[in-house]
Structure 1
Amino acid sequence: MNVLMLISDDLNSWLLENPERYVGRVIAPNLKALAQSGVNFKYAYTSAPVCSPSRTAFFSGVAPWKSGIYNNAQSISTSTALNQDAVLSLAGLFRKSGYATFGYGKITHGWDQKQHWDDHVGHKRDPAPPGAPLAGLSRGEQDWGKIHLTEDQMNDTLGANKAIAVLEEQHDKPFFLAYGSFNPHMPWYVPQKYFDMYPLDQIVLPELKEDDLEDLPPLAKAVSDGLGSFADKVIRSGKHKEAVQAYLATTTYVDTQFGRVLDALEKSPYKDNTIVVFLTDHGFHLGEKHHWQKTTLWEEGTHTLLMFRAPGVTQAGGVSERFVSLLDIYPTLAELCELSPPATIDGRSLVPLLKDPMAPWESTAITGLCDKSKTDLAYVSIRHELGRYTRYGSDEEEFYDTSKDPHEWTNEISNPKYATIVKKLRTLVPSFEETAQPVPSALTAERRKTQNERKKSKKGETKTERSK
Structure 2
Amino acid sequence: MSTTSSSLTMLSLFLLLCAAFGNSRITTNHRKNVLFIVSDDMRAQLGAYSGPNFPSPIHPQMITPNLDRLASESLLLTRAYVQQATCSPSRTSFLTSRRPDTTHVYDLKSYFRKVGGNFTTLPQYFKEHGYESVGMGKIFHPGKASGGDDPPSWTLPYFHPRSKRHWTTKERSWYAATHDERKKRPLPDEQIVKHAVKMLRKLAPKAKSGQKPFFLAVGFYKPHLPFVFPEEFLAMYPPSEIHLPPNPYAPENMPSIAWTTYRELRMFGDIAQLGLSGDINTTIPSNVTLDLRRAYYSAVSYIDSLVGKLLAELDHLGLAQSTIISFVGDHGWHLGENGEWTKHTNFEQATHAPMMIRIPGLTDHGIVSDQLVEFVDMYPTIVEAAMLGTLPVCPEESSHIEVCTEGTSLLPLIFNRQSEASSYAFSQWPRSGKMGYTIRSSRYRYTEWPKFRRHHIYKPKWGDLAGVELYDHLIDPEENRNVAYDPEYASVRCELSLLLREGWRGQETN
**By the TM > 0.5 criterion, same fold?**
yes
Shift of the alpha carbon at 1:286? 1.0
Taking the aligned partners of 2:163 and 2:485, their CA distance within structure 1 comes to 45
Contact 1:39–1:357 (8 Å) recurs in 2: no
Alignment of 1:285-296 (within 5 A): 285-296=334-345
Shift of the alpha carbon at 1:144? 0.8
Shift of the alpha carbon at 1:248? 0.8
Equivalent in 132, 138, 150 of residue 182 of structure 2 = 150
Q: Aligned residues, how many? A: 417
Gaps of 5+ in 1: 134-138, 434-468
The C-alpha deviation readout for 1:439-459, integer Å capped at 9, x for no partner, is: xxxxxxxxxxxxxxxxxxxxx
Whether 1:102 and 2:134 are equivalent positions in the alignment is yes
Contact 1:386–1:421 (8 Å) recurs in 2: no
What secondary structure does 1:380 align onto? strand
What secondary structure does 1:49 align onto? coil
Taking the aligned partners of 1:89 and 1:113, their CA distance within structure 2 comes to 9
Taking the aligned partners of 1:228 and 1:317, their CA distance within structure 2 comes to 45
Taking the aligned partners of 1:292 and 1:153, their CA distance within structure 2 comes to 28
Equivalent in 323, 332, 345 of residue 372 of structure 2 = 323
What residue is the counterpart of 2:232 in the other structure? Answer: 193
What residue is the counterpart of 1:366 in the other structure? Answer: 426
Alignment of 1:191-230 (within 5 A): 191-210=230-249, 212-221=250-259, 228-229=277-278
The C-alpha deviation readout for 1:34-78, integer Å capped at 9, x for no partner, is: 111122111001111000000011111221022221222446464
Equivalent in 315, 319, 323 of residue 270 of structure 1 = 319
Taking the aligned partners of 2:257 and 2:484, their CA distance within structure 1 comes to 15
Shift of the alpha carbon at 1:9? 0.3
Contact 1:369–1:378 (8 Å) recurs in 2: yes
The C-alpha deviation readout for 1:166-188, integer Å capped at 9, x for no partner, is: 32231221111111100100001
- TM-score for the superposition, normalised by structure 2: 0.76
Taking the aligned partners of 1:289 and 1:344, their CA distance within structure 2 comes to 38
Contact 1:347–1:364 (8 Å) recurs in 2: no
Taking the aligned partners of 2:75 and 2:437, their CA distance within structure 1 comes to 28
Equivalent in 322, 328, 347 of residue 407 of structure 2 = 347
Alignment of 1:8-407 (within 5 A): 8-15=39-46, 16-18=49-51, 21-22=56-57, 23-74=59-110, 76=112, 78-79=114-115, 81=116, 83-84=117-118, 87-109=119-141, 110-111=145-146, 112-119=149-156, 120-122=158-160, 126-128=164-166, 139=170, 143-147=173-177, 149-150=181-182, 153-168=186-201, 169-171=204-206, 172-210=211-249, 212-221=250-259, 228-229=277-278, 235-236=284-285, 238-340=287-389, 341=391, 343-371=403-431, 373-374=432-433, 377-393=434-450, 394=462, 395=465, 396-407=467-478
Q: How high is the sequence identity, in percent, across the aligned residues? A: 30
- After superposition, the CA RMSD in angstroms is 2.6
What residue is the counterpart of 2:457 in the other structure? Answer: none
Distance 1:268 1:199, change over 3 A: same
Contact 2:260–2:344 (8 Å) recurs in 1: no
What secondary structure does 2:474 align onto? coil
Shift of the alpha carbon at 1:369? 1.3
The amino acid across from 1:183 in the alignment is: K
Taking the aligned partners of 2:188 and 2:112, their CA distance within structure 1 comes to 26
What residue is the counterpart of 1:444 in the other structure? Answer: none
The amino acid across from 2:224 in the alignment is: H
Distance 1:165 1:230, change over 3 A: farther
What residue is the counterpart of 2:29 in the other structure? Answer: none
Shift of the alpha carbon at 1:124? 6.4
Distance 1:310 1:146, change over 3 A: same
Distance 1:123 1:18, change over 3 A: farther
Shift of the alpha carbon at 1:420? 2.8
Distance 1:250 1:230, change over 3 A: farther
Distance 1:115 1:65, change over 3 A: closer
The amino acid across from 2:471 in the alignment is: Y
Q: Which moved further from structure 2: 160-169 or 329-338?
A: 160-169
Contact 2:408–2:421 (8 Å) recurs in 1: no
Shift of the alpha carbon at 1:422? 2.4
Distance 1:123 1:41, change over 3 A: farther
What secondary structure does 1:219 align onto? helix
Taking the aligned partners of 1:237 and 1:398, their CA distance within structure 2 comes to 28
Q: Which moved further from structure 2: 59-68 or 295-304?
A: 59-68
Shift of the alpha carbon at 1:290? 2.1
Contact 1:4–1:274 (8 Å) recurs in 2: yes
The amino acid across from 2:411 in the alignment is: V
The C-alpha deviation readout for 1:1-49, integer Å capped at 9, x for no partner, is: 1111111000111122346623421111100111111221110011110
The C-alpha deviation readout for 1:337-396, integer Å capped at 9, x for no partner, is: 22244543211000101222222332352111111x43xx32211111131111112422
Distance 1:185 1:217, change over 3 A: same
What secondary structure does 2:473 align onto? coil
Distance 1:191 1:284, change over 3 A: same
Distance 1:197 1:413, change over 3 A: same
Contact 2:372–2:420 (8 Å) recurs in 1: no
Distance 1:401 1:232, change over 3 A: closer
Shift of the alpha carbon at 1:412? 1.2
